[in-house]
Amino acid sequence: MFLPSGFCQRSITTKLGPIAYYTAEHTPWLAPGNGASAEPLPTLVFLHGFGGGSSAYEWSKVYPAFASEYRILAPDLIGWGRSAHPARKYHVEDYITTILEFLEQTCEGAVPVVASSLTAAMVIRAAIERPDRFQSLILTTPAGLSDFGQDYTRSFFAQLVSTPILDQLLYSTGIATSWGIRGFLEQRQFAHPDRIFPEIVEAYLESAQQPNAEYAALSFVRGDLSFDLSRYIAQLTTPTAMIWGQRSQFTGPDIGRRLAELNPTAIRALQVIDDVGLTPQLELPAVTIALIRRFLTLLSDNQ
């Protein structure tokens, strides 16, 4: 299992099954003066996006940088990583519900949440539904994939994996393999393939090969989880900052600018990073850390 030093796995139970999450409970984070009697640290939650083999590993090069100042929580969402993988079609409401369940069971009051891609778009909807659970949002490439009237389900790949039997075959031979994972990362997720080191491929492959992992992944690829975020974002009241890779596939920074213009009151900042793809947290983690740190201060000061 790919965990940073000092982090361990814990779990909670939701209506759809157990969710594994990762938090700092060992040295070097529990240093002298930071034991059980010390003042509790504020909580900071990291939520990964979706794709073949996604998991909380996506944020593992970023969240340790905050472990001295925050109680870090980084879950594998239902259907991904080491969490439960119910054999079912997944829908947006499943993730909104389980994200809220996770926050209710692990956090007291409102907390800042960092989230990625389609999950980040779902977090916006969760924050609209339960604003009392979200102190601020820092979101990398938040998009519903069918934004501003686009219909992702009509894309060639979505149609292809909507074919019964063929979908399972495509997953087992074209997604849940080391070359399939690397190909997706190179073509869709990273701007520079030379930034994909072997550990990234291994971590994604481990998640993709979990029993029943194909159900959540195929729901994502088919478009079962897609929606038009532009229909919801004006309702957001939680202070929010967005980070967008200039070379993000599917949803470029123009989508981010259009979304931000729909709600300038809540969306306080949009930072586009040049020469990076969909997941700057993996491709340029140091830059992502610096931006998250800046936005935590900005959003706290502006509340």
Q: What is the mean pLDDT of residues 282-293?
A: 98
Question: Which one-letter DSSP state was computed for residue 120?
Answer: H
Pairing of strands 111-116, 71-75: unpaired
Identify which has the larger pLDDT, 154 or 251. 251
pTM of the model: 0.94
The answer on pLDDT for 32 being more than 70 is: no
Q: What is the pLDDT of residues 160-212, one digit of tens each?
A: 666 665 667 778 877 889 999 999 899 889 999 999 999 999 999 999 999 99
Three-class SS state of 114: strand
Q: At 240, is the secondary structure helix, strand, or coil?
A: strand
The DSSP bridge partners found for residue 17 are 14
d(CA 65, CA 138): 16
Under a CB-based contact definition with an 8 Å cutoff, are residues 121 and 227 in contact? Answer: yes
Amino acid at site 283: E
Q: How many CA atoms lie within 13 A of 236 on its CB side?
A: 32
Would you state the structure tokens that stand for residue 25, as one six-digit string?
A: 């409970």
Q: Which residue has the higher pLDDT, 37 or 216?
A: 216
Say if residues 111 and 103 touch (Cβ distance below 8 Å). yes
Q: Give pLDDT tens digits for 219-264.
A: 998 889 999 999 999 999 999 999 999 999 779 999 999 999 999 9
- CATH code of the region 7-301: 3.40.50.1820
Describe the crossing of helices 198-208 and 213-222 by its angle, rounded to 10 degrees: 100
